Amino acid sequence: MENGKISAQITKLADLLEFQGANSFKIRAYRRGARVIKDSTDSFATLVTNDPSQLLEIDGIGKGVAEKIRQLLQTGEIAEINEILETVPSTVLDILRIPGLGPKKAAALYQELNIQTLDQLQAACEANEVQQLKGFAAKTEESILDGITIAAAANQRIYWSDADDLVQSLRTHLQTCQAVRQLEFAGSYRRGRETVGDLDILVDSADADTVMAHFCDYPDLQQVIVQGDTKMSIRVGNSFQVDLRVVETDAFGAALQYFTGSKDHNVELRGRAKQLGLKINEYGVFRINGDNETYLAGATEADVYTTLNLPCFAPEIRESRNEFAWAEDNSIPELITIDQIQGDLHMHTTATDGKASIEEMAAAAKGRGLKYIAITDHSQRVSVANGLDAERLLQQWKEIDRINARQSDDFIILKGIECDILENGSMDLPDQVLAQADWVIASIHFGQKQPGQQITDRITGALENPHIDIIAHPTGRLINRREAYAVDMEAVFQAAKENSKLLELNANPVRLDLHDIHCAMARERGIPIVINSDAHKITGLDVMKYGIKQARRGGLTADHIANTKSWAGIQSLLSS
């Protein structure tokens, strides 16, 4: 069982306990444990198999969490979750997502009005039944109605790529306001999380009224949720929330740091500040002397971190995973940037399901500054994409040879294929054909629901094939659409390491596969990653930036990314 699934079950238990009004310390312990599990680059399933007692040696894993982990891995479920769900329907978790409602009021709604779903809650509010309850009022009821839309959309976080499009639109709009001195976007968007639940905008201005009036003129504004003196929240598009805060110049850096997060990163910062006799918040860093506070820093993020004797961490690594240990060792990684990418080794053409020819894809890639590409159309098993059999593939490679002969020496098109790993573990094309390729990708498109061992054996078997260079989108997940295969990634990493093979970080924003924790695992195990676009059209080449963002979250540098090297450099990696 993957760490992510273990973490999700521990989180679910914490949510249900919070609804029941259980001990707050116990709830916090479960939430902290869930985060530790999710962020770990070591397999908890492997750890429990080898020596369950090691769980208690991990910071953040107490006896209660350790017992739940063992139970989940041994039985496939957590008994306490089932016990709670015998008395509480799972749909009440949706009610807990309503902003500002809180577990006590959510429990009151369930116990006194038997409200179990958002639809039932909306009907009760519209009938004015909620305001009749003790502790509720007409304004509370109105606030709940406003929050139901947000709660309903809570599980519909948008892709980072879509958030980025919205950010560019909002930035363009706000930059035309003369009252704006500085403008930055914060939150999970700035940290590069693969999905984003809302947007946080920070503006430095001496005229908040003018800024907010301009914000109200945003063309796609659907509703103003709330507006105060310096803060305003709106909904745009399909109920997506955008929060604007207007801050003073001396606090802009502190606010940017605070609202960028993550929560756990900020908790660590507050603890370090306290040890130094300081206080840090969204307004700045202050020296504490009795009841007196002296402002020390806050105009820039760099000033904030410097005051705490820390480097200004890249936003992508502010997750309280490794950044503070790196800072103490003076080993902060110089994260990968898109200008360091030399080639793109996964793309498709009109020969299968692509929209552009070989020459068109090559010209577009060269125009983007790349030095090499691999044409990797699908193999014959993917019949829905008109996959290539051996005869058509060899003809395509002859065409690539002819195109290369007409090109300058500073750009090369590699003869490649995305070859399916068949359900029985064999490759979709004969070895004697694959041996003639420059670059062979192995991937799974069928039999994705096979048992974990079978899926794992298919992938590790492909990595042992001397003609395979890399595994594409190794877990097969589609974000918010399809779960990952039941694959043992520890075994995949081990096979890649033993056979000097590479793994792909597929930059398609719907995939971003490997995810950030897997990227960190590959880094720690010394397995080179290739960031590929998997482009099916010319504009598809531009998704590379999303893969770069994901790699940065995994702490990857240019040294960890194979396609920052020349083609000769990649060949050396594969032959090592």
Task: Mark whether 267 and 384 lie in a shared domain.
Answer: no
Residue 368 clears pLDDT 90, i.e. is over it? yes
The last residue of a domain, from among 275, 300, 328: 328
Residue 151 clears pLDDT 70, i.e. is over it? no
Residue 159 clears pLDDT 70, i.e. is over it? yes
Mean pLDDT of 229-244: 89
Task: Mark whether 296 and 322 lie in a shared domain.
Answer: yes
- In the three-class reduction of DSSP (H, G, I as helix; E, B as strand; rest coil), residue 517 is classed as helix
Give the CATH number, domain containing residue 126. 1.10.150.20
Assigned domain for 559 exists: yes
Assigned domain for 96 exists: yes
Task: Mark whether 492 and 543 lie in a shared domain.
Answer: yes
Name residue 513's beta-bridge partners. Answer: 506
Task: Mark whether 324 and 202 lie in a shared domain.
Answer: no
Give the CATH number, domain containing residue 78. 1.10.150.110
Q: What is the pLDDT of residue 338?
A: 98
C-beta separation of 208 from 202 below 8 A = no
Assigned domain for 333 exists: no
Task: Mark whether 487 and 377 lie in a shared domain.
Answer: yes
* Structural domain span for residue 106: 92-152
Assigned domain for 379 exists: yes
Q: What is the pLDDT of residue 407?
A: 82
d(CA 321, CA 543): 26
317-353 per-position pLDDT tens digit: 999 999 999 999 999 999 999 999 999 999 999 999 9
52-99 per-position pLDDT tens digit: 888 888 988 999 999 999 999 989 889 999 898 888 877 777 787 777
The last residue of a domain, from among 247, 268, 299: 247
Mean pLDDT of 100-108: 78
Residue 21 clears pLDDT 60, i.e. is over it? yes
Q: What is the pLDDT of residue 249?
A: 98
Task: Mark whether 349 and 315 lie in a shared domain.
Answer: no
Give the CATH number, domain containing residue 297. 3.30.210.10
Non-local CB neighbours of 20 within 8 Å, separated by 6+ positions: 84, 88, 107
Assigned domain for 355 exists: yes
Coarse DSSP helix, strand, coil percentages of the chain, rounded to the nearest 5 percent: 50, 15, 35
Give the DSSP letter of residue 77: S
Assigned domain for 519 exists: yes
Number of domains in the chain: 5
Is this structure's pTM higher than 0.85?
Answer: no
Residues in the chain: 576
Residue 153's pLDDT band, with cuts at 50, 70 and 90, is low
33-48 per-position pLDDT tens digit: 998 898 888 889 888 8
- Residue 316: Cβ-neighbour burial (10 angstroms; 0-12, 13-18, 19+): buried
Task: Mark whether 398 and 466 lie in a shared domain.
Answer: yes
Task: Mark whether 536 and 404 lie in a shared domain.
Answer: yes
Give the CATH number, domain containing residue 357. 3.20.20.140
- In the three-class reduction of DSSP (H, G, I as helix; E, B as strand; rest coil), residue 434 is classed as helix
Prior bond to 575 cis, omega within 30? no
Residue 254 clears pLDDT 80, i.e. is over it? yes
Give the CATH number, domain containing residue 196. 3.30.460.10
The last residue of a domain, from among 152, 167, 191: 152
Q: What is the pLDDT of residue 41?
A: 81
- Residue 147: Cβ-neighbour burial (10 angstroms; 0-12, 13-18, 19+): buried
Assigned domain for 310 exists: yes
d(CA 130, CA 113): 8
463-516 per-position pLDDT tens digit: 999 999 999 999 999 887 788 899 999 999 999 999 999 999 999 999 999 999
410-442 per-position pLDDT tens digit: 899 999 999 999 999 999 999 999 999 999 999
Assigned domain for 360 exists: yes
Q: What is the pLDDT of residue 98?
A: 79
Task: Mark whether 241 and 261 lie in a shared domain.
Answer: no
d(CA 243, CA 184): 12
Q: What is the pLDDT of residue 155?
A: 55
- Name the least confident of 125-139, 240-254, 404-418, 428-442: 125-139
d(CA 153, CA 151): 5
Residue 392 clears pLDDT 80, i.e. is over it? yes
- Name the least confident of 114-123, 147-156, 202-211, 384-393: 147-156
Task: Mark whether 198 and 116 lie in a shared domain.
Answer: no
Task: Mark whether 72 and 104 lie in a shared domain.
Answer: no
Task: Mark whether 137 and 74 lie in a shared domain.
Answer: no
Q: What's the whole-number average pLDDT of the chain?
A: 93
